[in-house]
Each structure stands twice: as structure tokens, then as C-alpha cells.
Amino acid sequence: MEKVIEFLRSKKSFQKPDTRSERDNSEEFFKKEISEEDREIFDENWDELEKDKFLKIKTCKKFGQKISVEDAFRLINKWGGIPSFKVENNRGKVIKFISKLETQDLTITTDEFSTISSLSKIAFFFDVGKYCIYDSRAIYCLNWALLKYGSDGQKFFPNPNGRNKTVVKYPMAGLLNFIFWEDTDSKYYKVEEAYEKYNDLMKDISCQIFGENAYPFEAERLLFGLVEVVKKDMAESVKILISNF
């Protein structure tokens, strides 16, 4: 992982607050979530990364590992910018996922993984020191770093469906399928374990790049901002040769 860490550290300046919703102001959303005491501490003169970190940590503190179903949908729909994650379709799934968080058993089913980008937002605010968001853009950039700079034994992470244009137009899964066409499945973590492995790796990367007290989301926040960097790196690194047959 040393070369992966070296690559990500060299791109440290690309870390940015990950405003997920295009319609809602992320900072204003969080200001309404935190306590009055924390709002008084909040300093408008902090840089954007400091503000983002403070607001996320304090929002997590507010919930205190007790997130209601209503709060879960509000976080997903309003801050996460996924209004299509409907209560009537996913209420049972959310209740079950919150129960898993409370019992610390996050073995993910295939059905849960189909909406892991949404469900992991609940986990993130349940315990920001342990979990981060399994975002398609972050996974996309992480898999590229693992492919180009990782060791042969390092597995890749299954990528959930995403809406980012680069992720959709230049699918990493297609590239990996071409490279490992004989046994692609064995190169990925299983769905059941992928989220847990991802959180552990984000914690490790964060500590190595941002210091021993860093939060897992700091590495995820860096990966989130690297989509265009990865796109350019792929264009410069990948050459496809089609021979006559």
C-alpha cells in the first residue's frame, strides 16, 4: 500500500468538502443540526475543510449513536441529495440497517449493498470515527489507485451505481474485467465484507496522510475530489490495442 499512500498524499491538495446535494447548502444544513453551543463555537473564518470537518463531527455527536428512521431518511434525502430513496420502499431496510449499527454487525446483504451509498450515510453519522460513506466516486478513484499503485494481492472494491458523468462514461469495472478477464470475481471483495474493509482502509489511509487522529472520512473526502484527476491519469496510462483476427 505504500505506493497507493504516496500517490494519494501527492494529491492531498485536492481534498475538498463533499457537498453531495446540488440543491441544498451543505454548511447550512449542518448548522441546523448541531447544538446551539456548537453553533457559537463555529467560526466563519475557518477554511472550508475545517468547517466541513467540525460540522460533520458535531452532527454525529448530536445523534450519539441513536438515529431514528425519520432522521435517517432526512440525512439521505436532504443532505445526501437522494430524494429517490423513498420511505415507502426502504423503511424496512433502514430499520434493519440501524439495528445492525446498534449491534455492531455490519455484514452487508446483496439487497443492502444495492443501496449502500444511501445506507452508509446513516452509518457515517452514527459513528463518524468508525464509518464513512461508500460513495461511487470515492470507490472509483480508490480502485484506480489500487490498480496502478497497489500490490498484486490487494483486492478491489465493488462499485455501487453512481450518477457522476465520469464514473458512468468511463466505468472502472469494464477496465478491470478486461485486465482480469479469466477470474475477475476473485479480484474483488465480496459484497458482504466490502463496506467493513473499506472503512478499515479509509481509517488507515487517513491516519497515514492526515495524522494519527484523523477520521476515516478525511481519506474518503480526498478520494471524492479526485475523479477528474483519475480520469486524466487513466487517459495517459491506458492504451488499448485491437488486433485483426
Statement: residue 21 has pLDDT above 60: no
Band (pLDDT 50/70/90 cuts) for residue 23 is: very low
Q: What is the pTM of this model?
A: 0.90
Quick: pLDDT tens for 58-116: 999 999 899 999 999 999 988 888 888 888 889 999 999 999 999 988 889 999 999 99
Q: CA separation (Å) from 25 to 43, 44, 89, 105, 158?
A: 17, 15, 27, 33, 30
- pLDDT given at position 120: 95
Tell me which of 226 and 151 has the higher pLDDT: 226
Q: What is the Cα 172 distance to its own chain's centre?
A: 16
Residue 156 sits at φ, ψ, to 5 deg, of -100, 170
Q: Rounded to whole angstroms, how far apart are CA atoms 219 and 223? A: 6
Q: Rounded to whole angstroms, how far apart are CA atoms 190 and 39? A: 42
Neighbours of 154 (CB within 10 A): 14
- Residue with C-alpha cell 463533499? 18
Band (pLDDT 50/70/90 cuts) for residue 189 is: very high
Quick: pLDDT tens for 156-170: 999 887 677 777 777
Percentage of residues in the chain having pLDDT higher than 90? 56
Q: Please, what is the average pLDDT of the chain?
A: 88
Statement: residue 237 has pLDDT above 90: no
Supply 109's cell numbers.
Answer: 446483504
Nearest one of 221, 220, 199, 228 to 48, comparing CA atoms: 221
